[in-house]
Structure 1
């Protein structure tokens, strides 16, 4: 009997000891080794709430992109209609006429209203084409009037992009890209904090600033439910926000949204099919406007069409605007005297090289040759230079390399570049460089390539007396509470500057181009303007040309430096870029 009791006591003690060890193990895991079994930085309380909550996401929590004045370029807040189908269905049966009046006020089709009430979820949003419909102030007021008794609510909803999608290529878009997500967030995906199918920045600022823009929390509208998915009594519909005082961040760009919008509206009004307009602040090289046509819908991407690419950052044949770099080389290396006169008879005599003006320009100085964009004179100048001298002068103007802001940034491995997909351009692609290659390159043909951003920044360099700057598109990043996360200072290039004398002479040549040269159509503008035209031949005549214009205004107190490109124009047509530049400057003048 005693032995039997002893065995029972031993079994009981072993059971209690095992149970105690299990409790201790659980405590140990929860207090000290939770990271091995639960995703790092996971909030267990939030996870428990998430498990009991049924609802819809109102804000994905991705960082916002703003213009220089704080106006949103992404993350637009509007009121959306949230519906509890079960309650709304019951209310509409009891208040048939009121429900009908509400439906009409909302502009909702009967089928839409019927489908909403048939939803089997606890809460849903009224959507069209998969996107929540924005309510007007009057509609929201009426929804709030009926409120919870009718199972309807006006709730704040954050939509990433809204039409007309200004600066769409610059902003970029989001997409699922598992391999790149693993490359960026490998540790967090492995730990279970993030999923590899999350949407990440695929182009533009969305891509280059992905590391600060990504979501760290969400705002959700939901109902708490029990294990059987039934609403818990006493826990009403509520918004649960897991964002913090730090996130989502605010990226403050240098863009002027109002000016950007007016330039894009101008392009649409004129029916321009393919064009780029870049406006820079001449004192800082900050981007004020970067507009392209065609535009694209950031939620409906056609990768093959390529409209999502930022043409302002893509290298193109520049035509005669490259004569600015050749003239700079001639002045810097003293191969042309101020009063020297060149002779243009219209034909060079070999390589099939000729001037655009049949019969030639006759006798003309360097300034006159620049203003008239004389090919023969610039061929003679190029022969006095070497490719290395042309390259050096061009590089001092910011050509032949990625010119956008780049540097070391906290939290980013390697060299950080603000502009996604910026191309470097080039001068001479082949070697050896014979006379034919040299003179064709001197007029911006052959292998010469520039981006519109480089072209606009070249004008900024001249206006700053030859000092080269790197254009910025982002000025700073701020936390959710407004405190500073990081800033991007104005960046001056370390390379030797162009001489002030040369910069001043080139600006005078650009003024002469408007007074007497190829840009005479701008002479009657309300502002005094200066600039240089360019016509880039694409190959065979039937392929057409690109029209370029680079310039600034007003001459005595410049407000902007500009590059305008109108692509794919008929050969032998008037320079559409110069005409567009005139209208752009009208908008800048009115904008103040």
Structure 2
């Protein structure tokens, strides 16, 4: 039988062709690996570890990053390429300050690429590189939450699916969500073994939508300074809102205690509720609500600023005794504007009883209380107003001094106080200016809603003058700002709790604005269990206004 040279020749050509095709394929994967291949399922044939989830940024009003502001370097192991050399793990454990046996067990258990050390310093990176480890690489990653600022505004994401859970992260999740991810990958074969001759590759997985930035109204400098003031004064549980009274733009919104968004699991069971945004939570307002009573009474024309009242130190309402808050209250005559300045409980209860439950409740609703604001911020509460079936004269007396069933949020108080500063027009609170694409181009401007007239210019002028009396000679002198003047109202709301000395524990409030003639800033300070609005909240207001004015000068 003749030797089958032809068949051998053809077989040789076939095998050569197959080899050339395979080599060409490997060359293509090595050189031209692209987004298209990744999107079509290349990751099913790689060992990969996510470097960056390029979720959109949350920006302050002048473009400062509130997210993704920091990069770090991590140590990642690829099991398919890992080859242990004698003594290397021991050396690595020393560099990482870890127990060598524990590190060996972790490495042995790894079946997929895994980050085993984060936020490496330059010195540690240099030492690791000198080891020449097989299967280890230094990979760069962006830290979603770097600088610890505006956390209750920004919110946080779920690490497992990268979706927003609270704050702007939740409210604008569809805008911010990941549209581009970066991976470091090593190609493997069907047996999950590394394909020889191929190095690590950086892959991108683009999506057709998302990954846009959200630019806020928050002034980075003001936000940072307010947070510093609260922390320097060791204020534990509190909220501050700084607002432009004309536009409703929120320049700062702070809640304490703070939390670290990257370690959210540490706070779920904390007794002091760090995850609670106190700026949009409901509390009894105490005497700051007397401004609401005053506005309603002035609008109904049942009281005049110079009208004189008797302050006997207490008032009996159907057998329930309501006392003045200080030792000076008692057997004195006060004009209505003086009653606001000195925060007289007996006088405001007299006015509230004259105004009536229905009128007071209707005006409170008109002024924005008992409903969420237009901001619709996650977990924002409605506050609370007494219902008709709860009405009796004693409840109306409580209602008139911001106690009992009456609850408001600091944000609601900021809007109402802004109406006083803004000639009787209440602004709609605004937190977002625009949406930008990944190149920084604006793709959607968020319109500012028109302010709504809730009381007359005449009433606004009277209230402004009354609030100036509070800071000039009344309970809020600690809030007076010499440069430009300031006006406001103190509040101390009873909680029903007592401290170890048997003293009543009160929430402390101060609401106000500055400068007096042309108000630019409304500031609401709330300190939970802060005892006294005049002694605790008012000085914080002054510090905040003075820090803003100082920053403007410099």
**In structure 1, the residue corresponding to 2:364 is in which secondary structure?**
helix
1:214-253 equivalences in 2 (<5 Å): 214-243=177-206, 247-253=210-216
Q: Which residue of 1 aligns with 2:14?
A: none
How far apart, in 2, do the equivalents of 1:429 and 1:43 lie? 62
1:281-324 superposed Cα distances (whole Å, 9 cap, x missing partner): 22311111111111123333333433212111011000010011
**In structure 1, the residue corresponding to 2:264 is in which secondary structure?**
coil
How far apart, in 1, do the equivalents of 2:96 and 2:516 lie? 53
Q: Which residue of 2 aligns with 1:535?
A: 492
Gap change, CA 1:459 and 1:286, over 3 Å in 2: same
Check if 1:554 corresponds to 2:515.
yes
How far apart, in 2, do the equivalents of 1:357 and 1:45 lie? 72
Check if 1:584 corresponds to 2:548.
no
Q: Which residue of 2 aligns with 1:453?
A: 411
Gaps of 5+ in 2: 1-34
Contact 1:323 1:378 in 2 (8 A): yes
Contact 1:445 1:536 in 2 (8 A): yes
How far apart, in 2, do the equivalents of 1:72 and 1:113 lie? 38
Q: Which residue of 1 aligns with 2:280?
A: 313
Gaps of 5+ in 1: 1-41, 177-196, 406-416
Q: Which residue of 2 aligns with 1:372?
A: 342
How far apart, in 2, do the equivalents of 1:361 and 1:489 lie? 53
Q: Structure 1 length as normaliser, TM-score?
A: 0.76
Q: Which moved more, 1:502-511 or 1:241-250?
A: 241-250
How far apart, in 2, do the equivalents of 1:471 and 1:52 lie? 51
Contact 1:466 1:498 in 2 (8 A): yes
Shift of 1:538: 1.2
Shift of 1:260: 1.9
Contact 1:513 1:520 in 2 (8 A): yes
Gap change, CA 1:430 and 1:296, over 3 Å in 2: farther
Shift of 1:449: 0.8
Check if 1:480 corresponds to 2:473.
no
Q: Which residue of 1 aligns with 2:66?
A: 73
Check if 1:300 corresponds to 2:264.
yes
1:120-139 equivalences in 2 (<5 Å): 124-127=114-117, 132-135=118-121
How far apart, in 2, do the equivalents of 1:139 and 1:254 lie? 40
Contact 2:174 2:210 in 1 (8 A): no
How far apart, in 2, do the equivalents of 1:295 and 1:208 lie? 20
Gap change, CA 1:75 and 1:523, over 3 Å in 2: closer
Shift of 1:148: 8.7
Contact 1:244 1:480 in 2 (8 A): no
Q: Which residue of 2 aligns with 1:160?
A: 144
Shift of 1:139: 6.7
Q: Which residue of 1 aligns with 2:29?
A: none
How far apart, in 2, do the equivalents of 1:371 and 1:112 lie? 71
Q: Which residue of 2 aligns with 1:498?
A: 455
Check if 1:329 corresponds to 2:329.
no
Shift of 1:204: 1.9
**In structure 2, the residue corresponding to 1:339 is in which secondary structure?**
coil
**In structure 1, the residue corresponding to 2:488 is in which secondary structure?**
strand
1:353-372 equivalences in 2 (<5 Å): 353-358=322-327, 359-360=329-330, 362-372=332-342
Number of aligned positions between the proteins = 505
Contact 1:452 1:563 in 2 (8 A): yes
CA RMSD of aligned residues (A): 3.4
Q: Which residue of 2 aligns with 1:398?
A: 368
How far apart, in 2, do the equivalents of 1:199 and 1:112 lie? 33
Q: Which residue of 2 aligns with 1:383?
A: 353
Q: Structure 2 length as normaliser, TM-score?
A: 0.81
Shift of 1:378: 0.9
Shift of 1:573: 8.8
Check if 1:204 corresponds to 2:194.
no
**In structure 2, the residue corresponding to 1:558 is in which secondary structure?**
coil
How far apart, in 2, do the equivalents of 1:487 and 1:354 lie? 52
**In structure 1, the residue corresponding to 2:420 is in which secondary structure?**
helix
How far apart, in 2, do the equivalents of 1:304 and 1:120 lie? 31
How far apart, in 2, do the equivalents of 1:321 and 1:363 lie? 22
Contact 2:71 2:141 in 1 (8 A): yes
Shift of 1:566: 0.9
Gap change, CA 1:108 and 1:85, over 3 Å in 2: farther
Shift of 1:68: 1.5
Shift of 1:198: 3.2
Contact 1:547 1:577 in 2 (8 A): yes
Gap change, CA 1:345 and 1:453, over 3 Å in 2: same
Q: Which residue of 1 aligns with 2:248?
A: 285
Q: Which residue of 2 aligns with 1:267?
A: 230
Contact 1:320 1:533 in 2 (8 A): yes
Contact 1:122 1:223 in 2 (8 A): no
| Match for residue 174 of structure 1 among 142, 157, 161 | 157
